[in-house]
Amino acid sequence: MNIDTTSLIPATLIPGDGIGPEITAATVKALEALGAPFEWDVQQAGMTALEQSGDPLPEATLASIRRTKLALKGPLTTPSGGGFRSVNVRLREAFKLYANVRPALTIVPGRYEDIDIVLVRENIEGLYVAHEHYIPIGDDPHAVAISTGMNTREGCRRIARFAFEYAVKHGRRKITVVHKANILKALTGLFLDTARDVAREYEGRVAMDDRIVDACAMQLVLNPWQFDMLLCTNLFGDILSDELAGLVGGLGLAPGSNIGEEAAIFEAVHGSAPDIAGKGVANPVSQLLAAGLMLEHVGRDDLAARLKTAIAQTLNEDAVRTRDLGGDASTERFADALIERLS
């Protein structure tokens, strides 16, 4: 994408719930020091929005993203069991954000070194369409729980093509398709078959193999270096991307992008971390790396590279780390140290 570097790019900023406002404030401060070209339109979503306006996904927030087609989003709390439907899922559906890209790259050498895997997750189909209902028996209204998953050939082809195009563009050589086609023969069999069809178009350029999800989860622990890119259905991608985060030091170091035809939303892989919210100790690096993906998306690879280098220097050379990485720095202290590296 060619961007006029002198003009500002309108972008929606959703601080989110829990640790969201803390890590987002740190990220915005660092982006200012970096000279990132975003002009923020701050909007609310999640519990924060519910408390303020009675709606977890206000129309003003949707309208803002419709206008900017670009957002940086903090994590949003979703009640488990009852309560409102996930705002994350609603946003992905509203803007057809069909591709969730979650890179896992070692920055802090730890249990594993030199991990460099990109997970591409189908983001709007599969079991997350969550067509669910209960069947009552006798006086138990919840005697049976039913959930229906849905994959379409069109949706499978779209995400497979996205993954292969990503591989070509980023010089990746192999895509491993993750499925459970031995059991969920229709739902994930269609995903696998369609990926195989698409792979034929890329023969000689990008290789493809496949793994059953449970075996893949184990292989990721035993020998993660055998993987280059993973292409996953919605649920498996959600689970394995947290596993990938674990391989590179935890959820504090894992960014993601949600890409669609109508918008792109960037966020950390992790959630709102209610256990540490408001304490000023959250690791802002996932959100910072998400902002880096956003810079790449708008064609500012130069700024993204500077940001990533400064993050690595702050963590490794300055040894400024938050609690989750064994340090004692606060969110703010990390941001200040990073800004020193950026200026």
Instruction: Say which residue the tokens 């929005």 belong to.
Output: 49
CA distance linking residue 296 with residue 61, whole number of Å: 23
CB 270 within 8 A of CB 282: no
- Residue 29 bears catalytic tag: no
Nearer to ligand NAI (CB atom), residue 195 or residue 276: 276
Looking at 17, 41, 125, 238, which residue binds Mg ion (CB under 5 A)? Answer: 238
Nearer to ligand NAI (CB atom), residue 19 or residue 160: 19
Q: Pick from Mg ion, ligand NAI, none: which does 271 bind, CB < 5 to 8 A by kind? A: ligand NAI
CA distance linking residue 167 with residue 164, whole number of Å: 5
Neighbouring-strand partners of residue 146: 133
Q: What count of Cα atoms within 13 Å lies in the side-chain half-sphere of residue 122? A: 35
Q: What count of Cα atoms within 13 Å lies in the side-chain half-sphere of residue 338? A: 31
* Count of residues in contact with ligand NAI, rule CB under 6 A: 21
CA distance linking residue 29 with residue 41, whole number of Å: 15
Contacts to ligand NAI from residues 257-286, by CB under 6 A: 267, 270-276, 282-283, 286
- Residue 318 bears catalytic tag: no
Catalytic residue among 17, 41, 238, 324: 238
Q: Cβ–Cβ contacts within 10 Å for residue 175, how many?
A: 27
Site string for ligand NAI, 7-46 (x = CB under 6 A): ------------x---x-----------------------
CB 56 within 8 A of CB 29: no
- Residue 214 bears catalytic tag: yes
Catalytic residue among 17, 41, 128, 166: 128
Site string for ligand NAI, 78-107 (x = CB under 6 A): x---------x-------------------
Secondary structure of residue 306 in the 3-state scheme: helix
Shortest CB 239 distance to Mg ion, Å: 8
Nearer to Mg ion (CB atom), residue 245 or residue 288: 245
CA distance linking residue 273 with residue 286, whole number of Å: 13
| CA distance between the termini of the chain | 27
CA distance linking residue 192 with residue 171, whole number of Å: 23
Nearer to ligand NAI (CB atom), residue 167 or residue 291: 291
Nearer to ligand NAI (CB atom), residue 123 or residue 194: 123
- Residue 114 bears catalytic tag: no
Q: What is the binding site for ligand NAI (CB under 6 A)?
A: 19, 23, 75-78, 88, 251-252, 267, 270-276, 282-283, 286, 324
Supply the residues annotated as catalytic: 128, 180, 214, 238, 242
